[in-house]
Amino acid sequence: MTMNAFITGAYDTAVGELPGSSCMGLHAESAIGAVADAGLKLSDIDGVLCAYSFTEPHLMLASVFCEYLGIHPGACLAIQAGGASACIMVMQAAALVASGQCRHVLVVTGDNRLTGMSRDGAVAALSEVGHPQFERPFGISVPASYALVAKHYMHEYGVTSEQLAAIAVEHRRHAGRHPKAHKREAITVEQVLSSKMIADPLHMLDCCLISDGGAALVVSSRAAARDTRGKAIEILGAGQGHTHEHIVAAPSLVDFGCKSSSATAFARAGVTARDIDVAQIYDSFTITLAVELESIGFFERGQAGIAAAAGELGLGGKLPCNTHGGLMSYAHSGAAGGMFHVVEAVHQLRGAADVRQVPDAKLAFVHGDGGILSAHCSLVLGR
């Protein structure tokens, strides 16, 4: 099956601590890079999708960006779905090109969350996703919300902190192979467990980074893809799943929208979880990835951490996952965090992932999660 849409350009900026960077500057560099990667000119772009920013928040971020870059596309809008934004933007771009409304859609994200605001500022801004009346008065934060899921999930399936820590350790091993990664030095399970407790049972090293960085893609129709230079990556399937926003209102603390989003994406692509060669899955916290891997069906319940400890998420494992190091070790720059997962999938499918390359990777699965496992979008990409 097909969605009649192709990723024809991909680019990500340097990541980590980037003094002098700005939200719009990172957007512009990413956009120009992705358009050049596709072998196109900015004037070929007839659609633009942006997400959101903490450092330059605006009601109309896509319009702000097009003004900044000096382009005037026929379609221009911003999408806000937290960590699911990147995948949802790709899905929406695919719809725009498949329906003939656009030929080449630029999908662009970036934020200087590390240098553009204090770490305290980023944590405080993120805590605003909590319900203003029924969560925030009790000191909720994003890590605390995920800790509530973790505590319940671990209780339900006998998952241990050591098993979750193994997930963080493997991400750092992946990042060690990526010259651009924000954090590259190896860590051990003991280091994860002895890192500062943020919200029990999640330690500092169970949590994602706060980074500067940007990333962009060009999504083209089948016909328009012929005008591009590189190896086009086909969007074979996509799906979404939405169950709640606030964790206090979640219908379940073990089943989330990733189950239906991935099922829809696999069905549209005509593949199953077993067919996937490489996965790039949202890893805001170790528990996030464990829940997603197990709900999507890559592993049985309670087994993801055990599999990570056995090397199954590593290069050469059963499911090489987050080969760039993910949000926990590569970088997390707001909506760009999820976009780094898509860019890494493109690198893998093009055979351009250098020492991170999964041999002969033909099918990639990419997944984004926004809120507190609230909004999910899955993509199946192939070459």
Q: Where along the sequence are the contacts to another protein (CB under 8 A)?
A: 118, 120-121, 123-124, 126-127, 131-141, 143-144, 147-152, 155, 196-201, 246-249, 253
Min dist. Cβ of residue 128 to another protein (A): 9
Min dist. Cβ of residue 285 to another protein (A): 12
Min dist. Cβ of residue 132 to another protein (A): 7
Min dist. Cβ of residue 203 to another protein (A): 10
Min dist. Cβ of residue 141 to another protein (A): 4
Q: Cα(243)–Cα(249) distance, rounded to whole angstroms? A: 9
- Give start and end residues of each alpha helix (H) in 158-277: 161-175, 189-194, 222-225, 258-269
Nearer to another protein, 156 or 354 (CB): 156
Min dist. Cβ of residue 119 to another protein (A): 10
Min dist. Cβ of residue 373 to another protein (A): 13
Report yes or no: 283 and 166 within 8 Å, Cβ to Cβ. no
The residues, any chain, with a CB within 8 Å of residue 218's CB and separated by 6 or more, are 7, 8, 9, 10, 34, 35, 37, 38, 40, 45, 104, 105, 106, 107, 228
Nearer to another protein, 149 or 165 (CB): 149
Nearer to another protein, 131 or 180 (CB): 131
Q: How many contiguous H segments (helices) and E segments (strands) does the chain have?
A: 12, 11
Q: Cα(143)–Cα(40) distance, rounded to whole angstroms? A: 41
Q: For residue 381, report the phi and psi dihedrals to the nearest 5 degrees.
A: -115, 150
Min dist. Cβ of residue 117 to another protein (A): 9
Nearer to another protein, 168 or 224 (CB): 168
- One-letter amino acid at 351 equals G
Nearer to another protein, 140 or 313 (CB): 140
| Environment class of 42 (CB within 10 Å of its CB; exposed 0-12, middle 13-18, buried 19+) | middle
Nearer to another protein, 250 or 296 (CB): 250
Tokens of 45: 């772009």
Nearer to another protein, 173 or 203 (CB): 203
Quickly count: other Cβ atoms within 10 Å of residue 218's Cβ: 33
Q: Cα(358)–Cα(277) distance, rounded to whole angstroms? A: 8
Min dist. Cβ of residue 105 to another protein (A): 35
| Environment class of 233 (CB within 10 Å of its CB; exposed 0-12, middle 13-18, buried 19+) | buried
Angle formed by the axes of helices 335-349 and 85-98, to 10°? Answer: 60
DSSP, collapsed to helix, strand or coil, labels residue 173 as helix
Q: Cα(44)–Cα(52) distance, rounded to whole angstroms? A: 24
Quickly count: other Cβ atoms within 10 Å of residue 244's Cβ: 17
Nearer to another protein, 141 or 322 (CB): 141
Nearer to another protein, 149 or 328 (CB): 149
